[in-house]
Amino acid sequence: MLRRCFIGALVLATLGVAAPCRGQDTWKEEADRLADLLNWQPGNVVGEVGAGHGQLTELAAQKVGPAGKIYSTELDTDLLAHLQELAGREKNVVAVKAAEADTGLPSECCDSIFMRLVYHHLTKPAETDGSLFRSLRPGGLLGVVDEDPPPGSSLPPGVPKNRGGHGIPQKILVSELTAAGFEVAKVVEDWPNRDANHPIYCVVFRKPK
């Protein structure tokens, strides 16, 4: 079962991070959308890059079942420790230490990979995109959930200046990932929690066979 929201908020407060509390239903809605878009099936191997506290990792693990596997990656050591705890409870979850320019995922390990509001924080996107491409099996799918930068927002530290704020324009995301060898499979504009202040979208890419 997913941990209650107030526990997640307490952990965030301990880490000195302020974030709104999201209900279990919201995580489930996003996981259901991703499962449909990325064709999750029992026995699939799925990767989540930048998994945070693992809410979506845990739901994905339930969807692929005990015969499947979820690689859950994090760069932050405190968050990685939380994912390792999750992996101790969910036997089909593997916590992976990521690097600034590498997902840490094995070569051609995954049927699909996803990331949620992570891509716009990448400081070495070209190198990370190459790592994503190598980690997917031929014909595998990559789902990137991100948002257009809100007007007046600040760039995250170390990211390319062409983002234009805290987010990434969809056309730049597509340009970078197609340059890495991916093909666009689908664009979804009506993502959960999308509104005028948070223009969230999802682009699904495919690694050619």
| Domain architecture of the chain: domains with CATH | 5-10+23-206 (3.40.50.150)
| 147 conformational bin, left if phi > 0, alpha if psi -120 to 50, beta if neither | beta
Distance CA 114, CA 38 (A): 9
* Per-residue pLDDT reduced to its tens digit, 43-62: 999 999 999 999 999 999 99
* Per-residue pLDDT reduced to its tens digit, 122-143: 999 999 999 999 999 999 999 9
Predicted confidence band of residue 13 (pLDDT cuts 50, 70, 90): very low
Does residue 9 register a pLDDT over 80?
no
Joined together, the tokens standing for residue 189 give: 């504009």
Q: Give percent of the chain above pLDDT 90.
A: 82
Does residue 18 register a pLDDT over 80?
no
Mean of pLDDT over the chain = 89
Predicted confidence band of residue 3 (pLDDT cuts 50, 70, 90): very low
Distance CA 55, CA 93 (A): 12
pLDDT at residue number 196 = 67
The CA distances from residue 10 to 7, 17, 117, 127, 147, in Å, are 5, 10, 21, 34, 26
Q: What DSSP character marks residue 55?
A: H
Distance CA 131, CA 134 (A): 5
* Per-residue pLDDT reduced to its tens digit, 150-197: 989 999 999 999 999 999 999 999 999 999 999 999 999 989 877 667
